[in-house]
Each structure stands twice: as C-alpha cells, then as structure tokens.
Amino acid sequence: MIIEPKIKGFLCTTAHPEGCKVEIARQIEQIQAGGKIDQVPQRVLVIGASGGYGLATRIAAAFGGGAKTMGVFFERPAQKGRTASPGWYKAAAFASAAADAGLYAQHFNGDAFSKEMKTAVIERILADWGQVDMVVYSLAAPARTLASGETVRSVLKPIGSAFSGATIDFKTQEMRSLALEPASEAEIAATVKVMGGEDWEDWIEQLESANCLSEGCLTTNYTYLGSEVTWPIYYHGTIGRAKEDLDRAAGAINERLRGNGGRADVIVMKGLLTQAASAIPGMSVYLSLLFKAMKAAGTHEGCLEQVERLFRTQLFQTNQRRDGAGRIRMDDWELSEEIQAYVKSHWNEITQENLDQLADFAAYREAFLNLHGFEVEGVDYDVEQNPDVPLALAFG
Ligand code: NAD
C-alpha cells in the first residue's frame, strides 16, 4: 500500500515503515560518526524505549557505547488496513540494526506499569545478564492501570487559575485560541500517579529485591522545566506537579541505592517535539518560536543530539552541571538569555499574519511528520509499503 500522513487534531494516525527505518539508520550513523562514547554502562534497561528521549538513549547506549540493551515500550503492530504505530516501526528498525551489528537487544511490548511486565524483564535480566548497570525511565503515558484494576488518567491542565493561549492547527496552519479551566484536586493527584515517580520507584524496588542492580547502578529519569511563558500550563500545571514528584522519588531511590554505591538522577532536557509533547496545549507556538531562535543561533538540538551531549559531557563525568535541586541540566541552551529574550518578546505578539516570520512552524510541522516516518530525506513515498513489519519480542 501507499502510506500517507492522516492527521486528526494533534495526532497522525498513520506511520511509514521505510521512513522510520531510514530515520533510525540516520541516527545510528550520526552517533557512530562522533566516535565511541566512553564509560557507558554495558547492561542498560530503557523503559519507554521506542520514541523520543528513551529511543535516543537506547541508540546512544548501544551504538555509541556498545551496550547491551533491553527496551520496554507500548506500541501497536499493524492490523488489517491500519499501519503500526511509529514506535513499532522504530523499535523494529533498532532491533534489526542491533542484530546486524551483533549487539544484544531484547524488546518487551506491553504495559510498563504492570506486575507482569516487571516480572518478565526481571526474569530476562536474571537469565541473560544477572544484573543491570543502568535503568533509564523515560515513560510518557496518558494513563496507568493500578494493581487494583482501576485506571487513572493524566491531564494537561493549569492549577489554580484558568489558562488562555494559542495553538496552531496542523492541517490548516491556523492559529486558534485555547482556554483551559484549572484542574481539580483529583485530576492533579491522577496526573502525579501516572507521570510522577511512583512507578520508577516500583521498578527499582523490584529490581533490587531480585538482586538485579549491579554495584554502582545508575538510574535516570527525564524532566522538563521550560520557559516562564509555558509555566502556567507546564511547570505550574498538573504535569509540573508530577515532575516535582520525580525529585522526591530520586531522593528516595538515592537512599535505597546508598548501600551499593548507585545513583538516581533527574535530568532536565530541552523542549522538543515528540509524540508526548505534541499533546501539550500551547506547545506548538512555543516550540515554533524556539526552533526559529535556536536554529538561528546554531544551537538547535533533537532528542539524539541532547542525549549525545548528555552522554559525552555530563552523565558519566565527575563534574556535572547540576542545579540547586541536584538535577543535571541539559536545557542550558534553551534557557540561555538570548533564546529566551526572543521567545518572550514574541510570545504575545504572534498572530496568523506574522507566524512565518517570527516562528518556524514549518520546522515544527516537519519534525511532527518525521516522527511518523514522513518527509524523511531519501525515502521514495511513491513506493508501495508492506505495513506488516516483524519484531521478535521477549514479551508481548
Ligand atoms: P515519547 O512519547 O516520545 O515516548 C514515550 C515512550 O513511552 C514510548 O516508548 C512509549 O511506547 C512508552 N510508553 C507509553 N506508555 C507506556 C506504557 N504504559 N508501558 C510501556 N511503555 C509506554 O515521549 P518523550 O517526549 O520522549 O518523553 C519521555 C520522557 O522525557 C518523559 O518523562 C517526558 O516528560 C520527558 N521529557 C520530554 C521532553 C519533550 O519536550 N519531549 C522534554 C523534557 C523531558
């Protein structure tokens, strides 16, 4: 079949297998071109390994550092007449590239919050590795089913007062105003339950109980603080409350790891267009402004560039760039005075008429299509595709 993007709201309901494959091959080539990354732990578990920051981390660990990896994700294979999710195609592309390179890689498809998934991963670690040296928690999930069977959902809403802003419609490129009522206490609590640190702690606790954590084991979780202009909807909103909980969880995990010399790090990454980020209200305007300013300054990075810089200059070094809360900061270029001055001065000025001059919505749109394997350089989109791409799973 010929596969084209089908866009509905902030979602694209199709994905292109060859586009995803070419994009992953390009990223692998890029990380290898920078030379071997020193000190990368050699047995790495990535939870949330099929998209955005988690996938970039897996690529950097495996193809930059030569690590064996296990990847957990929740993706949809192709079904009658429907393409697979982009993460499925990307995980499959990673799997075949790893096999070609002789790199150990196992893939677990299903709900990372569940007991079954944790048990499956632990059994595989015990059987194949004995222990794990690094656990990367990079989940971005809309909902979590608790052990009781109850499902709680995260919401992206302000806290305390209503939010009004603008968003850009993908299809029509029209700017629309956006109004959101403040979240209820129950919605705040549900968002913390889904996107806070509890499940990260559960993973570490269960890995530790099974004696799966190696001496000096490192565990990381990615967070976002962002610019003051997005604070009402992000940092001071429900998702920010969940992110605050990561700092608490990191403290608790650090206590737990004290005995074996391990460490839990919360790492502040820059704002980027990923599947998860595309759902955040108002992010299209902010990221379009950010792309414009950072591209002009020559400091624009994608997920892979962020993770590569983290791996090469921070995470495995002794002198890290940490803030008062102990987090490693990779958002330094995004929050630089020059970039933020541009974003802040234009945030309230942006209109339909000046959108293309002040912001780079074209780059935002391209990044969104690339995420789904579309508009990838070197891919002939007139060639028929088989949407059924196999992926051998250890679980799922
Ligand atoms: P993403 O949507 O690109 O990837 C999310 C991953 O989680 C995918 O691999 C998906 O399959 C997996 N996943 C979702 N629900 C799951 C479930 N129930 N079980 C198993 N796997 C599941 O997201 P992302 O933007 O890379 O976000 C990853 C982390 O990085 C999040 O904590 C996010 O807050 C953080 N972060 C993102 C940005 C940004 O701008 N995108 C910036 C800083 C920090």
**Burial of 133 from C-beta contacts in 10 A (0-12 / 13-18 / 19+):** buried
Instruction: Return the pLDDT at 345.
Output: 95
Please check whether residue 51 lies inside any domain of the structure: yes
Task: Output the pTM of the full model.
Answer: 0.98
> How confident is the model at residue 197, as a pLDDT?
98
Domain assignment of residue 322, given as a range: 7-395
Q: What is the mean pLDDT of residues 38-63?
A: 98
Structure confidence by residue, pLDDT tens digits, 251-282: 999 999 999 999 999 999 999 998 888 888 88
322 CB-contact burial (10 Å; exposed 0-12 / middle 13-18 / buried 19+): middle
**What are residue 164's DSSP bridge partners?**
179
The greatest distance separating any two alpha carbons of the chain, rounded to the nearest whole angstrom, comes to 60
Mutate to test the pocket of ligand 1, among 109, 139, 269 (most ligand atoms within 8 A of CB): 139
Q: Which CATH number characterizes residue 284's domain?
A: 3.40.50.720
Q: Which of 74, 150, 86 is nearest to 112 (CA)?
A: 74
- Residues marked active site are found at 234
Q: Say what the pLDDT of residue 11 is.
A: 87
Answer yes or no: are the C-beta atoms of 267 and 327 closer than 8 Å.
yes
- Report if residue 2 sits inside a domain: no
**Cα dihedral sign for 124, 260, 139, 117?**
positive
Which of 319 and 188 is assigned the larger pLDDT? 188
Tally Cβ neighbours within 10 Å of residue 104. Answer: 15
Give the residue, out of 46, 53, 284, 391, with the most ligand 1 atoms within 8 A of its beta carbon, to mutate for a pocket test: 53
Q: What is the pLDDT of residues 91-107, one digit of tens each?
A: 999 999 999 999 999 99
Cβ contact 191:242 at 8 Å: yes
- Mean pLDDT along residues 108-116: 98
Domain assignment present for 1: no
* 253 located within any domain: yes
203 lines ligand 1 (CB under 6 A): no
Does 231 fall in a domain?
yes
Report the chain's terminal Cα–Cα distance, integer Å. 26
What pLDDT digit, counting tens, does each position of 178-190 carry?
A: 899 999 999 999 9
* pLDDT tens per residue across span 12-34: 999 999 999 999 999 999 999 99
Return the minimum-mean-pLDDT range out of 39-48, 170-179, 195-204, 356-365: 170-179
The predicted model gives 360-369 an average pLDDT of 92
What is the pLDDT at residue 171?
A: 80
Cα–Cα distance measured from residue 287 to residue 300, given in angstroms and rounded to the nearest whole number: 11
- Looking at the structure of the chain, the number of domains it has is 1
Q: What is the mean pLDDT of the chain?
A: 96
> Average pLDDT of 75-96?
96
What is the pLDDT confidence band of residue 10, given thresholds at 50, 70 and 90? confident
Whole-number pLDDT of residue 105: 98
- The proportion of the chain whose per-residue pLDDT surpasses 90, expressed as a percent, equals 91
CA-to-CA distance for 277 and 288, rounded, in angstroms? 13
